Amino acid sequence: MKVGIIGANGYGGVELIRLLKSHPFAEIEFLVSHSTSGTNIKELYPHLSSILEMSLAQVHVDQIAESVDVVFFSTPPGVSLDLLAQFSEKGVLCIDLSGDHRLTDPEVYSQWYQKEPASANILNQTVYGLSEINKESIKDSKHVANPGCYPTAALLGTLPVVKEGWVKENSIIIDGKTGVSGAGRKNSLATHYSEVNENVKAYKLGTHQHIPEIEQLIASFSGNTESITFSAHLVPMTRGIMCTIYADLKEPVTSEIVTDLYHSFYENHPFVRVRETGDLPKTKEVYGSNYCDIGIHCDERTNRLTIVSVIDNLVKGAAGQAIQNMNLLNGWDETTGLTGAPIYP
């Protein structure tokens, strides 16, 4: 199957290339980049020498649509708003790694992204691509809105207890910690080595655009529309996200009982690994892989649940899940091309 990547010169794009090169059924046909078109990708990323030496092209929808079956958008906010509809019209399957098609309520999108939303028609045809949760509807869809990195870790960690109604929705607090690669390759003081190394910072408190995405899914599982608290923190590493999730329990339960719930919730989902009670996952334990590892701690003193959920932000949080969704869209086993073990240490 022929594949095109729009925004191939960013870290998300490059991670798509790495994973697609190991995919048995996918062939990269087009790399698109507005800002670096005309350049060979290996000039920008010498690690791709002899692996994929392809020029980056401008986006010509007609030409690309003729050659590819699937297109991935690994683009900044706003870019896919217009383009996805065009590709869709021509029958190309679309997987959007940006946030442009994740929020079903156009007003919420406008409010958090400060942009005009996609058309209602397009949004209706789009499925939120949290693969484990929306597996069946993804299979039947034409467009997938690939989840944000934080929401992937946060929601896989939270939804089982929300669905059961075991926690008070308005008590949910998600403390997120991310590596720097999530900020992309653009130069800024926020990604400057000397500013990031030996440093932890909190950012975008109360204003992070992943907040409505998390709330939307929680609401759909709980039936309530409670606000949650989400805080983002940058830690000095390249890859990895941990979400430490806190929630008040409605009734006392033990760690074992909650762990059992998670084991059974994710029984048929090979990319979610629920740890035994007492064992908590570390971000490095999923490095480079499509796993989401989850650990559970119920605290009797406080009657509060703590859930630790980790992913590689560029794999399960972006390119890996996008390929998982491509597999589902095409009716392949969802693990196709994604079975690489985490790289450790």
What residues act catalytically?
A: 149
The answer to whether 342 contacts a copy of itself (rule: CB under 8 A) is yes
345 binds a copy of itself (CB under 8 A): yes
Can you read off the two tokens belonging to residue 343?
């790289």
Cis peptide upstream of residue 342 (ω within 30 degrees of 0): no
Asked if residues 149 and 317 have their Cβ atoms less than 8 Å apart, the reply is yes
Residues numbered 230 to 249 that lie near a copy of itself (CB under 8 A) are 231, 233, 235-240, 242, 244, 246
Q: Say if residues 173 and 228 touch (Cβ distance below 8 Å).
A: yes
**318 is a site residue for a copy of itself (CB under 8 A):** no
What is the footprint of a copy of itself within residues 7-46 (CB under 8 A)?
11, 14, 17-18, 21-22, 45-46
205 burial class (0-12, 13-18, 19+ CB within 10 angstroms)?
A: exposed
Give the shortest CB-281-to-a copy of itself separation in angstroms. 7
**Residues 90, 65 contacting (CB under 8 angstroms):** yes
Rule CB under 8 A: choose which of 110, 197, 224, 225 binds a copy of itself: 197
Task: Tell me the three state secondary structure of residue 336.
Answer: coil
Q: Is 47 in the site for a copy of itself (CB under 8 A)?
A: yes
Mapped onto helix, strand or coil, the DSSP state of residue 306 is: strand
Contact 122, 96 (CB under 8 A): no
Residues 254 to 293 in contact with a copy of itself, rule: CB under 8 A = 270, 273, 275, 279-289, 293
Nearer to a copy of itself, 61 or 184 (CB): 184
Q: Which of 28, 84, 310, 322 binds a copy of itself (CB under 8 A)?
A: 310
Pick from 136, 200, 225, 333: which binds a copy of itself (CB under 8 A)? 200
Residue from 35, 51, 90, 264 that binds a copy of itself (CB under 8 A)?
51
Backbone torsions φ then ψ of 40, nearest 5 degrees: -80, 135
